[in-house]
Amino acid sequence: MGLSVDDFLILNNSVETEGKRAESRYYPKDEPWNPHRPVKIIIVGAGIGGVAQAVLLSHKVPNATIVVYDRLEKIGGTWAANVYPGVRCDVPSHAYQLTLEPNTQWSEYYPKGSEIQQYYEGVVRKHGLEENFKLQHDVVRATWLPSASQWAVEVRNLRTGNISVDTAEFLINCQGRISKPKFPDIPHLDAYKGPVIHTARWPADFDLTDKTVAVIGAGASAAQLIPNIAPKVRKIVNFVRSKTWVSPTFIQGIHEATGDAPGGPTYSPEQRITFQEDPAAYVEHRREFEMRFQTRTIKGADKLGSKENATLRERIIETMRDRLDGDEEWLQRLLPDYAPGCKRLTSAPGYLETLRSPKVDYITERITYLTPTGVQTADEAHHEVDAVILATGFEPSFTTLFPVIGKAGVDLREKWSPAGEIGYPETYLGIMAPGFPNYFFVLQAQGNARGGSVPLHIETSAVFIAKVVRKIQSQSYAALDAKEEAAQEFNDVVGGFFENSVTGDSCSSWFKNEAGPSRLLIAWPGSYHHRAGVLRDPRWEDFTFEARPGATRNRFEYFGDGTVEKESRPDRDPVRLTSYLTEVGKIDLATFQESWTPDL
C-alpha cells in the first residue's frame, strides 16, 4: 500500500536522535485560523427558551446557521398555547422579560398572556430572526449520527403532513416543562356528548354564555379561569382532587393583584414615557422587583417539618382567611393536607372569593366517570353540565416529548424513565446528558435556581451553551460529551442538598419525579448567583472530546498558517487589528483581555 502525502511528509521530517524522542513535524493547512467555522444549530421550541437561545447564539456564535422548530402557529410557547379567559403571569412583567431586551411599555404589573406572547414575538422580529423560526413543524425524532458527528432531526410539517430530515452539529431542546396537556384518567371521558376542552387548547370561538360548566382541577389555570368566566356562565361546578395553597402575590410589599384587578396596577402613559426617556429610573424600577426575587425566600422554609415552613403556612392561611372574609368553614374546606411549597404556590387573585359565590359548586368527591350529559361522583351524585373544562395542567416534561437517540442507540426517554437504567433525569449541570453529544436542554431537570426569574435562568443557560459551541467551533473538535461520572457526582450533590425537602410531602407535583416522597427535579442546588457563577467557566475536564476528521493526527491542526482571517482582509481595518487598545480611563484590569469578543 502506498503512503499518502501527509504520511510521507511526517516520516520524511522525523529525526531520530540517539537517546531522545523522535522529532516529527506537522504541517497544518496553509490558510488562516478560522475560529468561526460554519456550524448549524437546531433549536426545538419557540417559547421563551427557544427565543433566548436563538437571539443570544446568533450574536455569540458567529457563522452559525440557526433553525427553530415549533408545532404551534405562533412564537411564545406556553403563552401562545394558553389563551383561556384570564390567563396571565403571576410574575411582574418587568421581571418576566429577557434582560437582554428590556421593554419599557408593559401595560400592567402582572401581564396577560397575549401581551407576553407579543413581546417575545417582537424580540424575534427586532433581531431579524423571523425566517429562522419554522412554525407548525413538529419534531418527532432526533438521532445522533456518530459517523458525521451530527444530529438527524425528523420534522413533521403540520400543514402538509410531510416528514423531512434536517441535520445539524448541535441540538438544543427548549420544549419547556409545561407544553404537553395532561388529560385526567377519568373513565368514559369520551362518553360525554358535549364539548370537552383543555385550558391549553382553548378554541377561540368557544362561547360559555349562560352555560353550566364543569371545571376539573384547582391549579393555576383553574384559579385564573373560574373568576373570569363566572360573570358569563349560569353555573360552575369545580371538581377538586388536590387542594391548593393560595398565597399572596409573589412580590409582596409592592402591589398586590386582587380579584377586581388581577393584573395589579396599570402603567400610565406618563410612567411609560419616563421609563423610555430615563434609563436610570427604569433600571431602578426593575431592580425593585428583582431584589424581591433575590431575597424573598424564608431560610429554612423549604425543609419539611421546619418551624420556618410552619411560619410560612400560617402566613398563607391568614391570606386565605382574609380573602374568604374570615369564613372559617370555607377555610377548612379549602386547606390542603400537605406542606406549602410541596407544589408551586398559586396567588390566584379572585379565585377564593368566587368559590363562595352562589354560582359555584365546590366538589371534592372523587369523579367516578363521565356520562353523556355530565359528571358522576363517588357519592352517586350526577352533575348535569353543558361543557367540561379540563384545567388539569401538563404532563411532567423533564425528559423529552420525542425520542432522542444518543450513543449506542439509547433513547433518553427510556434511560431517564422511572423504569429505566437511572430512574430519573440525571443531568450534567441541568444542561447536558452523558451519552448524548452536542445535545443541550433548557429549563429541564435542575435548571431552575432559587432567586431570579425564568427568563434570567434561560439566559444563563444560553451563555454557557454558546461557550461550549464556540469551543467545538474554533478548535479541532467535532463533538463533546459530558462524562457519566461528572453527572453522577453533580446529582449526588443535588440529592444531598434537597434532603428532607418540603417537596417530599404527600402532594403530586411537576416539581418532582412522582407523587409523595420522591426526587426533586426542578431545582438547582443553590441560588441564581451560585448557578451563574458555576456556569461562568465550563469545566472542560468533565467532557470527552471527539476530534474532527483531519485533526486526529495533531490536536493543533486548527492553527493553520499562523494567522487569523482579519489579518488577510483587503481592507486592513485598523480598529479590528488594534482592538486591544482602549480609551484612557476606560481600562478595566479585572476584565482586561479576558472578555469574549467575536473579533478574532
Spell out a b/e string for 52-86, using b for 16 or more CB atoms within 10 Å of the CB, else e.
bbbbbbbebbbebebbbbbbbebbbbbbbbbbbeb
Crossing angle for the helix pair 48-60 and 113-126, to the nearest 10 degrees: 20
Residue type, 401: L
The cell 382541577 sits on which residue? 217
Paired with 481 in beta bridges are 544
User: CA distances (Å), 80 to each of 118, 121, 127, 135, in order?
Assistant: 9, 10, 20, 12
The candidate with the shortest Cα–Cα distance to 145, out of 116, 128, 167, 120, is 167
CATH of 39-178+396-546, one of 3.20.20.480, 2.30.30.30, 3.50.50.60, 2.120.10.80: 3.50.50.60
The whole model's pTM is what?
Answer: 0.93
Domain ranges across the chain: 39-178+396-546, 189-250+298-390
CATH class of 189-250+298-390: alpha beta
Q: Would you say the CATH fold of 189-250+298-390 matches that of 39-178+396-546?
A: yes
Q: Are 404 and 142 within 8 A, CB to CB?
A: yes
d(CA 193, CA 3): 77
- In the block, cell 360525554 appears at 192
Are residues 218 and 245 in contact, defined by beta-carbon separation less than 8 angstroms?
no
The answer to whether residues 504 and 305 touch, using CB atoms and an 8 Å cutoff, is: no
Answer whether 123's CB lies under 8 Å from 101's CB.
Answer: yes
E strand or H helix at 237, and its extent? strand 235-239
User: DSSP 3-state assignment of 10?
Assistant: helix
Per-residue pLDDT at 13: 52
Dmax (CA) for the chain in angstroms is: 100
| Cα dihedral 41→46→48→52 (10° resolution) | 30
How many whole angstroms separate alpha carbon 511 and alpha carbon 409?
Answer: 29
Q: How far apart are CA 398 and CA 522, in angstroms?
A: 8
Which spans in 201-256 are helix H?
220-229
* Complete DSSP assignment for 137-197: EEEEEEEEETTTTEEEEEEEETTT--EEEEEESEEEE---SS-SBPPP--TTGGG--S-EE
pLDDT tens sequence for the chain (600 residues)? 454 545 544 445 555 555 677 788 988 889 999 999 999 999 999 999 999 999 999 999 999 999 999 999 999 999 999 999 999 999 999 999 999 999 999 999 999 999 999 999 999 999 999 999 999 999 999 999 999 999 999 999 999 999 999 999 999 999 987 778 999 999 999 999 999 999 999 999 999 999 999 999 999 999 999 999 999 999 999 999 989 999 887 655 566 788 888 899 999 999 999 999 999 999 999 998 888 888 776 778 889 999 999 999 999 999 999 999 999 999 999 999 999 999 888 888 999 999 999 999 999 999 999 999 999 999 999 999 999 999 998 887 788 899 999 999 999 999 998 888 888 999 999 999 999 999 999 988 999 898 889 999 999 999 999 999 999 999 999 999 999 999 999 999 999 999 889 988 888 887 877 665 678 888 999 999 999 999 999 999 999 999 998 788 899 999 999 999 888 888 888 888 888 888 999 998 888 888 777 777
**Three-class DSSP category at 495:** helix
Backbone angles phi, psi at 377, to 5 degrees: -115, 170
CA distance 345 to 312: 11
CA angle 552, 555, 558 (to 5 degrees): 105
H or E element that contains 292 = helix 279-295
The answer to whether the beta carbons of residues 480 and 437 sit under 8 Å apart is yes
Return the number of other C-beta atoms located less than 10 Å from residue 599's C-beta: 12
Backbone torsions φ then ψ of 526, nearest 5 degrees:
160, -165
The residue written with cell numbers 523522535 in the block is 22
> How far are the Cα atoms of 96, 433, 452, 544 from residue 527, in angstroms, in the given order?
18, 22, 8, 28
On the 0-12 / 13-18 / 19+ scale of CB atoms within 10 A, 574 is exposed
